[in-house]
Amino acid sequence: MATLKEILFTSLTAAGLVAADGLNARAVAAGKKYFGTEISTIVMADSSANAIAKNSQDFGQYTCENEMKFDALEPSRGTFSYTSADKIVAQAQANGQIMRCHNLVWHSQVPSWVTNGKFDNATLISIMKNHIANVVGHYKGKCYAWDVVNEALNEDGSYRTSGSIWGSTIGPAFIPIAFAAAAAADPTAKLYYNDYNCDKPGSKATGAQNLIKMVKQYGAPIHGFGMQGHMTAGQVGSASQYVTNMRAFANLGVEVAFTELDISTPSSSPNFAQQATDYATIVSACKQVSACVGITTWGFTDKYTWISNSYPLIWDTSLQKKAAYNAILNAWGSSSTPTSLAAPTSTSQASSGNATGCTAAHYAQCGGQGYSGCTVCESPYTCKYSNDWYSQCL
């Protein structure tokens, strides 16, 4: 039987008088649209993991891992299979979570009937446009955004042709054609280009900016850039480089998001403190750029990571929160919780926002530009500088 406090908390929350707390709640309080996660039907089948995924205070947005890719949705020509993806969309809708839909055109996970079909340019364009029309049409009004084209660039920023049926047969023109087709199928969805190794300034980031310009020159709409963010602990560096890079994209008139964030640390000798610091750095960078609408981690638990021999995510293999969880909370800043009935679950959460007379817990934020919380760490930890916007108790 529920306690009086639990009943009161539920009633006040329903009335909008008590705000809960979590990764997404903090992101929204910081002015962002969401903090989200990639999810799969495999995770959904694990009731303990799915209970975490369903908590909209931590995750306000979903991205399907594989369920919306070309080979999953159109395994044979003209035959579409939506069952698995529909399950994820239905769960998101039931919990008030946003869908970032991923992805429509990619060189990988293309069914063999496409790659081995020996189609000419015109036929392959027709196949691509038909796929987009059916898929985007099926989910019309249910996707906040679509990753329309995924990973169309080489590392030097040139257009990928090797290994891409689209690039080698159609050429770069497939990109604006795909964006135009997606816009026709759902004019309300945000349309993104999504790629990796573009989170810092460099040749590939410049190539992605040129791609956005090219799509616009063709007259097709493009609304966002997804910088995937597959990173390694200890190699993330300062927030300023990410801020500079995101602003370069924003100057092109598009929004930006980290769409597949994970920060690897080897399972043989994990460094969770460094990982926590690095997650906080990415959050602090997004927080500083108004055009950064949110962050999606590529999964949330090491139990279901795609990266072998690594612990890259926020919950461990036993589904327990790691140091990164509180580091992300504190990097976003204080929650909007107005009453102790919805008190934080950890000292580091509770300390956020208290300017004096408090101590910050291990791994909590303790300084940085714009920070107004605890600046003294609990013993035996000290406040160590990470970047201009984030210092942490280590």
Choose among 281, 342, 346, 343: nearest CA to 320.
346
Q: Based on the residue annotation, tell me whether 260 is a catalytic residue of this protein.
A: yes
Largest pairwise CA distance in the chain? 71
Choose among 250, 136, 240, 272: nearest CA to 191.
136
Catalytic residue among 65, 67, 260, 378: 260
383-387/390-393 β-pairing: antiparallel
Q: Where are the beta strands (DSSP E) in 98-150?
A: 98-106, 145-150
Phi (first) and psi of residue 79, to 5 degrees: -110, 120
Q: Where are the beta strands (DSSP E) in the chain?
A: 34-39, 61-64, 98-106, 145-150, 190-195, 224-227, 230-232, 255-264, 292-297, 365-367, 383-387, 390-393
Cβ contacts of residue 222 below 8 Å, gap of 6+?
148, 179, 191, 192, 193, 212, 215, 216, 254
Residue with tokens 């949330």: 300
Distance separating alpha carbons of residues 268 and 308, to the nearest angstrom: 11
Active-site amino acid positions: 260
